Amino acid sequence: MAEQENKKGPAIHPPKADELLDMAIIGGGIAGATAGIYSGRYLLKTALFTKTKGGAILDSPDVENYPGFITISGYDLMNRVLEQAQHYGTLVVNEIIEGIEKQDDVFILKGSSGKSYKTKQVIIATGLIRRKLGLPKEDKLSGKGVSYCATCDGFFYKDKVVGVVGGSDAAALSAMLLSKYASKVYVIYRRERMRCEPYWLTILEDDPKVEFNYNANVAELKGEEKLEGVKLDNGNELKLDGLFIEIGSEPSTDLFAPLGVEVDKRGYVKVDDGMKTNIPRIYAAGDLTTGSAGFKQLVVGAAEGAIAATSAYHYAKKELKDTR
């Protein structure tokens, strides 16, 4: 059984050497953590592998659309879900899985520490990776004015001028958070109006610190040792201390591509209504799947994680029955 929860968040365990797991969950976001709850309750020997406990929702200072909470921070919500998974026996392992291969009827997971882990079944819940602008100096200025996480870095821009690129809910939430610290927030978006939830847009439009730059893209990053501003493709220039990029995400297929897991033309993992992939005993859940009509929400990720673990349980139960 996992260690008792503590005030600093979920405890960390490695599986024992040569231990054969019933289930390995790759990813510590809402889908993976919920899969951990259900897998543990089904009494499957389960380990959840993640480097960042909580996933992308950690970027959200306030979550207001998850059932049971009027408002809760992404950090607090994910700590609760991961602690619940541990309560039911799921091990949470601070490890990046860098490769998966199949040997006979067992999957071998290769960890960044050099350790290997053996498991009968796998749930892939690695979420998405953030898109970049693809501009010269972007990598050079990353951490020096260019950021992809307002929650992580917003505090460092107190009384400074910042920009947010994007028109999604994530961009709106970043702009709202940054407005609490910065003296000015420029929203830069390529279309005529932000496509975020109308509620968020109303808040931003009523905020005197926020100024919209529509029908514009960032064409150039200014500065050498740190960001000094941006040039837009409409000819305007903005002097900025920070630029927060929120232009969406895309699935990373490098981990599971060698196994032949099928993806659609956009790179999302194809799943059936049981979150099964085309490879037996490999499931996928959360934002990286084609499931749930592409509705990328916390409650949907949680549901997919639960379904994936349930499918794995039924397979394990059938396998045990067939071998008796």
Identity of the amino acid at 299: V
Distance CA 256, CA 11 (A): 27
Catalytic site includes residue 233: no
Is 152 marked active-site?
Answer: yes
Ordered alpha helix ranges (H), the chain: 30-41, 74-87, 138-141, 150-153, 169-179, 198-205, 298-323
Q: How far apart are CA 253 and CA 36, in angstroms?
A: 22
Q: How far apart are the first and last CA of the chain?
A: 27
Q: Which two tokens stand for residue 184?
A: 């000015």
Nearest to 271 by CA among 262, 161, 9, 8: 262
- Single out the residue of 218, 289, 221, 250 nearest to residue 131, CA to CA: 250
- The letter for the amino acid at 30 is I
Which is catalytic among the residues 153, 169, 241, 287?
A: 153
Instruction: Check 62, 139, 152, 264 and give the catalytic one.
Output: 152
State the residue for tokens 């921070």: 73
Return d(Cα 34, Cα 80) in angstroms, integer.
11
**Known catalytic membership, residue 196:** no
Give Cα 304 distance to the centre of its chain. Answer: 14
Catalytic residues: 149, 152-153
